[in-house]
Amino acid sequence: MILKDYLNDLKLQINIGGANDRHLQIIKSIFQVEINLIDKDIVLDGKQEACNLVLKLLDLIVYLTNNNCELLERDLVYLCKYLQANNDLEQIKALYINPLKIINTPSNKPIYAKTLNQRNYCEAMKNNDIVFAIGPSGTGKTFLAVCLAVSLLKANKVKRIVLTRPNIEAGEQLGFLPGDLKEKIDPYLTPLYDSLYALLDKETVDGLLEKGIIEIAPLGYMRGRTIANTVIILDEAQNTTYTQLKMFITRLGFNSKMIITGDPSQVDLIARGKTNPSALATIEQLFSHLEGVEISKFEALDVVRHPLVQKIITRYEEYENSNS
């Protein structure tokens, strides 16, 4: 199949071809077709069903290019995977043409929702007091939660940010850790610190920690508290028990938001000899259709790390489903 005079401007050539034809390689790999750019023509060869999807992808790229969208490698991977699973193109067009900006970095670089599920998650956090974010690693659950918390703090809509997570290692016991409380739990909270440092310079973060405006607290220290005017983020919630999550979620005070993130495929409770199942197993039964609570779900399609991570997660899911 030859598409004549398809590449009618440089922006379109860049969005379809990519640097060093990297975009073409991605399209070939995902759809299992041969695609080549020759002058202003596109030469396409493969199974009819796959070629039809590529044609739909090319039309979408043309539409986005005409609306001044610049597509990165990660964007192209997402568009390809999305088209394999979905027929609705209006939502995906809106994601790129009317992007949802969450916050600016210290260098004034805007951070946008990168997938439809990320966009829905950000909307859920704005409109609800308690939000669960459930899905595989690399989907932006924790980072976007910190983005929202920092944006609300900067806008003086909340007075504090509290970050917490269960002190359970990933399948291994690290033993006694020296130092004061902060030094003991800091190793567990590195992903949250990484997110903070991406949004605020280190001096600002350290100053807010010193003033208690940002608080790092072990999950066990939440008992008995009522936390108001605060965004509270519970990370790695798959490693909380039913009792722990019940204790945590009832700490919610006025003008506060709770964001609870977790990956059900990475539960480490069993590795520590715990007999209680992960609390995430009960949240849909408990909180579905409860006003003020939203459950946002992510999948391998939403992974915004290296494209290979998406493939690895999919392989693990296939393996675990076939052996369950």
Lowest-pLDDT range, 5-9, 21-25, 56-60, 282-286? Answer: 5-9
Q: Dig out the tokens for 62 from the structure.
A: 């043309």
How confident is the model over 37-87, as pLDDT tens digits? Answer: 888 888 899 999 999 999 999 999 999 999 999 999 989 999 999 999 888
Asked if 30 and 84 touch (Cβ cutoff 8 Å), the reply is: yes
Specify the pLDDT at position 172.
42
Mean per-residue pLDDT for 1-5? Answer: 71
How confident is the model over 113-147, as pLDDT tens digits? Answer: 999 999 999 999 999 999 999 999 889 999 999 99
**Superfamily designation of domain 2-97:** K Homology domain, type 1 (3.30.1370.10)
Residue 25 pLDDT more than 50?
yes
Specify the pLDDT at position 273.
55
Looking at the chain, which residues constitute the CATH 3.30.1370.10 domain(s)?
A: 2-97
Q: Which fold has domain 101-322?
A: Rossmann fold (3.40.50)
Specify the pLDDT at position 41.
85
Three-class SS string for the chain? CEECCCCCCHHHHHHHHCHHHHHHHHHHHHHCCEEEEECCEEEEECCHHHHHHHHHHHHHHHHHHHCCCCCCHHHHHHHHHHHHHCCCCHHHHHHHHCCCEEEECCCCCEEECCCHHHHHHHHHHHHCCEEEEECCCCCCHHHHHHHHHHHHHHCCCCCEEEEECCCCCCCCCCCCCCCCHHHHHHHHHHHHHHHHHHHCCHHHHHHHHHHCCEEECCHHHHCCCCECCEEEEECCHHHCEHHHHHHHHCCECCCCEEEEEECCCCCCCHHHCCCCCEHHHHHHHHHCCCCCEEEEECCHHHCCCCHHHHHHHHHHHHHHHHCC
Asked if 145 and 296 touch (Cβ cutoff 8 Å), the reply is: no
CA–CA separation, 40 vs 11, rounded Å?
13
Specify the pLDDT at position 98.
94
Pairing of strands 230-234, 293-297: unpaired
Closest CA to 82 of 111, 121, 53, 51: 53
Please name the residue that has the structure tokens 């809509």. Answer: 157
Specify the pLDDT at position 176.
47
Please name the residue that has the structure tokens 């990168």. Answer: 114
How big is the chain by its Cα radius of gyration, in Å? 22
Residue 30 pLDDT more than 80?
yes
Residue 232's beta-bridge partner residues? 162, 258
Asked if 18 and 26 touch (Cβ cutoff 8 Å), the reply is: yes
How confident is the model over 265-312, as pLDDT tens digits? Answer: 888 776 455 555 788 889 999 998 899 999 999 998 898 766 676 677
Looking at the chain, which residues constitute the CATH 3.40.50.300 domain(s)?
A: 101-322
- The dihedral formed by the CA atoms of 62, 70, 102 and 206, expressed in degrees to the nearest 10: 160
Residue 228 pLDDT more than 90?
yes
Residue 169 pLDDT more than 50?
no
